[in-house]
């Protein structure tokens, strides 16, 4: 696959993620949109690194670190969602009038 094709797929993933994060009201769907955006960024970075640097292991290490950060972000995000649901019984963004209290 060419670099242009990979970047188009990465941009499509990122675009779908932006749409998903901005158009949804449930916390889980917003998190899924954020995950898609991060996946698009990782795909673009790995594609650029593989096509320009000849696939050196440094680019692969960058992808592994980015996926690790993505997993930690998802775990913290879902922990916050569970905490908000337990305290406020709110599973949608519109049910939260304020974040404090």
* pLDDT tens per residue across span 44-90: 988 888 888 776 677 778 888 889 988 998 899 889 888 888 887 77
Model pTM above 0.95: no
Query: pLDDT of 12-56, one tens digit each?
Result: 999 999 999 999 888 888 889 999 999 999 999 888 888 887 766
Give all domains of the chain, ordered by start, each with its CATH number.
3-95 (1.10.287.3510)
Listing DSSP states for the chain in one string gives --HHHHHHHHHHHHHHHHHHHHH--BHHHHHHHHHHHHHHHHHHHHHHHHHHH-S-HHHHHHHHHHHHHHHHHHHHHHHHHHHHHHHH---BGGG-S-S--
């Amino acid at each position: 696959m060419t670099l242009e094709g990979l970047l188009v797929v990465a941009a499509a993933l990122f675009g779908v993620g932006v749409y998903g994060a901005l158009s949804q009201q449930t916390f889980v769907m917003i998190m899924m949109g954020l995950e898609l955006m991060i996946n698009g960024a990782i795909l673009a970075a790995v594609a650029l690194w593989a096509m320009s640097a000849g696939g050196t292991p440094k680019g692969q290490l960058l992808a592994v670190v980015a996926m690790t950060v993505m997993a930690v972000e998802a775990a913290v995000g879902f922990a916050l969602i569970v905490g908000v649901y337990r305290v406020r019984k709110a599973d949608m963004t519109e049910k939260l009038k304020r974040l404090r209290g």
